[in-house]
Chain A
Amino acid sequence: MRDVAIVSVAQTDHVRAEPRRNEVEMVQPVIQAALERIGAQISDIGFTCSGSSDYLAGQAFSFVMTLDAVGAWPPIAESHVEMDGAWALYEAWVKIQARQADTALVYGYSKSSPGDLPRVLTRQLDPYYYAPLWPDSVAMAALQARAMLDSGAITETEMAEIAHRSRTAAESNPHAQLKGSPPPEELLAGDYVAEPLRRHDCPPITDGGVAVVLAAGDRARQWADRPAWITGIDHRVDSHNFGARDLTRAPSVAIAARNAGVGYGAVEVAELCAPFTHQEKILRTELSLDDDVVVNPSGGALAANPIMGAGLIRLGEVAQRIMSGEVRRGLAHATSGQLLQQNLVAVLEGDS
């Protein structure tokens, strides 16, 4: 395997709705910033890949206009995934491993504000048996939380503590959408949104985007004093047959973690893409994280959840902490689909 690192990260300030700018106007500044931070231009980039969703934009081929933000002239080697940007990063990493590129620009973004997000996400379900029932994404997550509570895997107090810890941590994240939280006792006095989920258990609806630059070997060392090397990365999917699955588990996370080599060293920081509070607990269990691991110092998806960017942001957050010298080894997780059905795990490390 070639040594490949994240060398630059930029993200938007995440908001509930970006009412003035369209998608390309929203994401262009972060693409430019990610390149400018390392003094690079698009001509220095060997491969470009992005992640976004037509259903969120409410437009077919919505990624086509975003290419205008890249400066793809003369033409560039470029691809797009209808997945979170973390998978765009995976494709770029594969391309570099296959020696088809040495550097890559990756971005992920969405505006969830044009549509009614919980309803839009119902379209992601089995079209014959689930989607006709229009089970919105919060109700789906509530089924999972109920299974967690019933099995004793979590308590409502723990869920409130996760919300409180995450949004308190977000106070130091300049890009976060939700910052600060009442204490857990106060949260628990709130009404249910979809029992057993209260408002604090749910992610915000977010418009935003993120861009990162990858580079291999010496190029990474030229562009960053302390590159965030991707020492392991893998992604796996679980069954969509939610009725036949143990919803308190996400076996794909454990497989991906094993293949990414999570257990080969101490994890100092973990950025987990857990849009709902109880999902953090599932991930901690599947990842076998020790209690002393710092989880989601950015606030995680509970503080800002630009779908199609939220997973790539996790990679970016860990990378930035490594590049700054704050930590040496960290774990990043991304998810796709509902109820943590599809998961990507990456281990990032700085030179010691």
Chain B
Amino acid sequence: MKVLICIGHVPDTTSKIRFTDNDTKFDKSDIQYIVGPYEELGLTRLLELKEAKKIKTITAINVGLKETEATLRKALAIGADNAVRVDANPTDALFVAKQIAEVCKKDNYDIVITGKESIDYNGGQVGEMIAEYLGVPSISSTAKLDLDGDKATLVREIDGGKEVIETSIPFVATAQKGFAAEPRIPSMRGIMQARRKKLAVVAAVSQDEKTKTTKHFLPEAKAACKMVDADNVGELVRLLNEEAKVI
């Protein structure tokens, strides 16, 4: 069983977000980049399945410029067997999905895992688009994955509950919270080994851009918080009713 996991190269969740070039670009200065938190969960679960001998190899992939290799190396340090970087400055989700689908077609992966969304542009599109390019099932917002030979059982979050889904390989699943209990962090040994693991760089295929981000905005500053005395909670009720009109 060969599994491909798509690794997002995203700003650390604690980052203060700023923009540059007349708000057309994200300001990368002082930003620490990490493996996306959902992909971390995805990779962790795949390692558990590999240890249970249900998966043979785990390949990490990213579509990006040389700068994303540090993030791929981190995925290798956590435990992925090898990595692929598609050498391109990704323009939109469709472009990224197309590149990954092309790699899948060449190398025949049985399962593709992505995070449910990147934590920068929050599109949540790439996994489903890859599945569509490959003509295979996609299971979105997956909170559990189990394998039994060629069969898989997944639990997907839906509005107001959960669905249990059975499918067979090949398929694409997008991982969300619950996919693994706690994300693994690289061990010293893992970091040493990662340096020797193979990180292949492949050329991108062409794909027209269908969307573009033209401007970034920060949320408008809020008016100062109105403080209410702890001994006068009735005043809060009055404000919520008369001023804010929400109760």
Tell whether A and B belong to one assembly.
no
Q: Which residues of A contact B (CB under 8 A)?
A: none
